[in-house]
Amino acid sequence: QVQLVESGGGLVQAGGSLRLSCAASGRTFSSYVMGWFRQAPGKEREFVATTSWSGIMTYYADSVKGRFTISRDSAKNTVYLQMNSLKSEDTAVYYCAAKIGPHTRRGNEYDYWGHGTQVTVSS
């Protein structure tokens, strides 16, 4: 059974940085696409970034491009989301997700999800 566990969330001032981690277990993830999504209060879940497990292909939402970086450490079975220049609108619960097959921004196509980690950006 695939397990995804997020960590690294917290409270940060606008302009600050956080690094989220997603520890994956239960599979060999070489053929998986890993994604980060977020959901703010009262809003729908939205795509943030995805990476192939190889790290060769990455995609970002326009709202985070140039500020966030997705990466992975294969040896640790961990995917990261480095978030810089944080804004108040980045406040949300951030979720890690995994799927086999092609990249997609559609969350309903991901098979496995973590429980989320809260990121709060104060202005």
Burial environment of residue 120 by CB neighbours within 10 A (0 to 12, 13 to 18, 19 or more): middle
Q: Please identify which residue in the block is written with the tokens 């921004």.
A: 105
In this model, does residue 54 exceed pLDDT 90? no
**Residue 38: count of CB within 10 angstroms of its CB:** 24
pLDDT of residue 81: 98
* pLDDT: which is higher, 53 or 118: 118
pLDDT of residue 50: 97
pLDDT of residue 31: 85
Q: 6-48, pLDDT tens digit by residue? A: 999 999 999 999 999 999 999 888 889 999 999 999 999 999 9
Q: Please identify which residue in the block is written with the tokens 């917290």.
A: 10
Q: 62-121, pLDDT tens digit by residue? A: 999 999 999 999 899 999 999 999 999 999 999 999 999 888 999 999 999 999 999 999
pLDDT of residue 120: 98
